[in-house]
Amino acid sequence: MSEPPPAGEDNAIIVDARYVLEHRLGGGGMGVVYRALDQLMVKHHDRDPYVALKLISESLRQNEEARMMLQRECSRAQKLSHPNIVRVFHYGWDRSTDSDYLTMELLRGESLEHVVRANPKGMAWSRVAPAIEQLCNALDYAHSEGIVHSDIKPSNLFLTDSMVLKVLDFGIAAPMRSADTASSETLLNPRRLGAVAPRYSSLEMFLGKDADPSDDVYSAACVIYELITGKHPFQGLETPRAAELDLQPEPVKLLSRAQNRVLRKALNFRRKDRTATIGELRDGLLRQQPIMRGIRLFYAVVAGVAIAAVAMTLLLRLGPVRQPPDSAVTTTPREAPLERASTPPPPEPAVSPTATTTSAPAVAVPVRTSTLPATQTQRTQVKSAEQKVTKAPPVAAAPATQAPVAGGKALTERCQSLLEHAQLGETLSEDENAYIREKCR
């Protein structure tokens, strides 16, 4: 059928006096899909009055089996309610043209066939992983309902603008071997009519064998391989030819060894060697996603760098304190409060005010009165200071202690000695105090 003219013109094609065909969206062996305006929805002011309408091809209008297959597609799809399977609304017949049709939700996005062409080197795992999960979930649900899709290929998968994958076209879907089916369903087997996708269908489909979930496993594995690498797993050859040559898919660099084994098993040509269920394929590929391994490695590196930085900071702050040489007398700001806190104040000298005034400085008093026994270094420092004071010339203090007193008389040697002892805080006897009062004035 040629593409219809734009809606609103006098010669616009209207199907079943209701649907105005606007433009073609795609097509296949069974029919052509159009974007259509539902005039009944327009009448009732629906906000989104558009649907996708699949109209049977003109060449098949006289083929009763083909028309029955289109009706079966609608019937099966209506039984499947899943977010990753396209919703089919209505199956109808246009009396004026004797054309069968079905309507379904209008999707906005692009088919996976266009996505693969736009990514000849494959897609990033962050985009592939959600598509894998959604595809496998949809097929797993269909299998649980007793239906094998039998025609999984990139053109029958759609990726919406919101990154939701939809499985389309259940036109040649077949009941599973174990499913109870009506006689009419058994009489019409699309597999026996040769309805296969040459590069994506399993070998059993070419041989016309009964439907089995592993058929969809093989087709899905081909699509997944193509999404990741941008290439068909068997160089684009038809399945029988690839099986005849016993081709093996090349390992996918993006996947781990375990994931490659899972994908390779799903691509086995013989059903007995192939992955049995779509759930096994999904779990094997998504159990350890490469992106998660990369994220874990990234955070491990970041954590290691952070720990190393903290350790280095602590080492710099709490590193060993360099001690001063034993022979040096040092008084640091940190040691000063310790000396003041631990050294008891010296006792008041028992001398008269006159004696205290007369005997002026005592050079070695701070060293001799220190009582700090804290460390070996401090004891060594005190000892060294005492040795320096001891080795000093005895005349160093003479000018102050031998100064003339009132009356011009110089102090005697005994007076000088007693006054020094009194200045140092030593307790003098009564006789010594009396001697100071009498002789040292």
Write out the catalytic residue numbers: 151
How far apart are the C-alpha atoms of 411 and 417, rounded to whole Å?
10
Can you point out the beta strands (E) in 214-255? none
Name the burial class of residue 263, with classes exposed (0-12), middle (13-18) and buried (19+) by CB atoms within 10 angstroms of its CB.
Answer: buried
Complete DSSP assignment for 45-64: T-S--EEEEEEE-GGGTT-H
Per the document, the length of the chain is 441
Rounded to 5 degrees, what are φ and ψ at 22?
Answer: -100, -60
Q: In what order do the strands lie in the sheet with 165-167?
A: 109-111, 157-160, 165-167
Q: Give the residue among 287, 286, 262, 289 at the shortest CA–CA distance from 276.
A: 262
Q: What string of DSSP letters covers 273-286?
A: GS-S-HHHHHHHHH
The residues facing 23 across adjacent strands are 35
Q: Which amino acid is at 119?
A: N
Q: What is the largest CA-CA distance in the chain?
A: 154
Helix (H) or strand (E) holding 143: helix 125-144
In order, the DSSP letters of 60-128 are: GTT-HHHHHHHHHHHHHHHH---TTB--EEEEEEETTTTEEEEEEPPP-EEEHHHHHHH-TT---HHHH
List the alpha helices (DSSP H) in 287-327: 290-317
Which amino acid is residue 117, in one-letter code?
R
Three-state secondary-structure class, residue 316: helix
d(C-alpha 185, C-alpha 76), whole Å = 11
Considering only CA atoms, which of 227, 214, 296, 217 is closest in space to residue 255? 227
Residue of 16, 4, 193 whose CA lies nearest to 91: 16
